[in-house]
Structure 1
């Protein structure tokens, strides 16, 4: 009897491991196409539990939650997708639709030129992408310099010299952008409110005065943490404390 039970366990384990991420992804896609969004979510999440992540996976999870009118989870996964690939236009578009389901209307503070440049240029791509550009241009600069060194024509040497200088300039800029982007991602913590309605406090205690009210799906920045409280900041500059059970960090 013990041998039979052991055999069943082994067979079940083999079957479980046979479900590759690709097979699970295809299975989840079929659930989604057939309108079975709950099963699609469960299957997509089983892929995430394996430690795998991609903007496409998170985009599909966000779409599934959106179909079920679940505001906070859909925005949360769209934001996670953008964290991996900020240039994904499909995610940007669907996130805009999902945000229309939120209750809170928060007007962003006017941004300085530097802040706009950072958001629209430096954060347009991930630090990995900027690093790839930096490495590629370093090889290009070295190659151009070699051509310049061994060439004999004056005009060719001048052209190669100028293009190698340009490549070095792009190398320096992309390296700076890569480090700047990494620093922003590492030191900026964002979260999504997951509670239907929550009162934000002036201090990290339940007895402190209410500062303002937030609803599910609202994106906040985490500034600090104390015990079971998070200090948050909104896009309009408002600051307060909220119990960490009410939000989920992106």
Structure 2
């Protein structure tokens, strides 16, 4: 009897949690449509705080921040949306638009051609879609192997064997890409500068040498952290230490 009560309470709480998230999201969308952008932001943040992440919510949140002219927060949320849906045209357009409004114009170091090629493949679909493709191909390879096992003719057995093996290998490749895509999201080491102006130092100390100045909205890579300092790297290769409070991780 106690187990039944526990199960009932668990699923009731789960249902209530889902309803609350849906209501908050509906309220956020309604406030956004009515031009109440600050209220919309509160509701979108509420949905995210309940663990309901999605590219759409981050995209809408980025738009809401853009409407109140908070460019760093807008870029941050567009970047988060892009992690979950890298090929979405609307997300990429708005991210490029807002990124063009920041002060710093940092030149990118050209990537090694193989690295760039792999990133393009990785970003073709989201991690979930790559995983779904892998599953479909895996099931298809099993079906073809079954045809191989029950086929009587030699040329058909050879055809089914090699076709099934090839599709199985492709399914493993897709699974690998799905895992890498998920790791990219979970183990992301990028951040956006939130402070209007911050000075990068040669070491994690206020008395160290000033290296360069960066402004809000600039995207950086996190190398390491020490106390309340973070070593960051710009896309042009420049490295320096800044206060951890001046950035927010994507």
> TM class by shorter-chain length?
0.7 to 0.9
Partner of 2:247: 247
Number of aligned positions between the proteins: 235
Is the contact made by 1:199 and 1:242 (CA closer than 8 Å) also made in structure 2?
yes
Q: Compared with structure 1, are the counterparts of its residues 168 and 216 closer, same or farther at alpha carbon in structure 2 (3 Å cutoff)?
A: same
Partner of 1:106: 106
> What is the CA-CA distance between 1:19 and the residue it aligns to?
6.3
Further displaced range: 55-64 or 119-128: 119-128
Further displaced range: 36-45 or 18-27: 18-27
Give CA deviations for 1:11-40 in whole Å, capped at 9, x if unaligned: xxxxx9796222221221121111111111
SS of alignment partner, residue 86 of structure 1: coil
Q: Distance in 2 between matches of 1:185 and 1:46?
A: 21
Q: Distance in 1 between matches of 2:224 and 2:18?
A: 43
Partner of 1:31: 31
> What is the CA-CA distance between 1:186 and the residue it aligns to?
4.8
Partner of 1:79: 79
SS of alignment partner, residue 20 of structure 1: helix
TM-score under structure 2 length normalisation: 0.86
Matches for 1:13-162 after TM superposition, within 5 Å: 20-162=20-162
> What is the CA-CA distance between 1:143 and the residue it aligns to?
1.1
Give CA deviations for 1:132-187 in whole Å, capped at 9, x if unaligned: 33333222111110012112345543442332122122023223323443454454
Q: Distance in 2 between matches of 1:17 and 1:175?
A: 32
Is the contact made by 2:104 and 2:218 (CA closer than 8 Å) also made in structure 1?
yes
Further displaced range: 174-183 or 84-93: 174-183
Is the contact made by 2:87 and 2:123 (CA closer than 8 Å) also made in structure 1?
no
TM-score under structure 1 length normalisation: 0.86
Is the contact made by 1:188 and 1:221 (CA closer than 8 Å) also made in structure 2?
no
Q: Distance in 2 between matches of 1:236 and 1:133?
A: 36
Pairwise CA RMSD of aligned residues?
Answer: 2.1
Partner of 1:196: 196
Q: Compared with structure 1, are the counterparts of its residues 27 and 230 closer, same or farther at alpha carbon in structure 2 (3 Å cutoff)?
A: same
SS of alignment partner, residue 114 of structure 1: helix
Is the contact made by 1:188 and 1:222 (CA closer than 8 Å) also made in structure 2?
no
Q: Distance in 2 between matches of 1:128 and 1:48?
A: 19
Q: Distance in 2 between matches of 1:178 and 1:208?
A: 43
Q: Distance in 1 between matches of 2:86 and 2:101?
A: 22
Is the contact made by 1:32 and 1:40 (CA closer than 8 Å) also made in structure 2?
yes
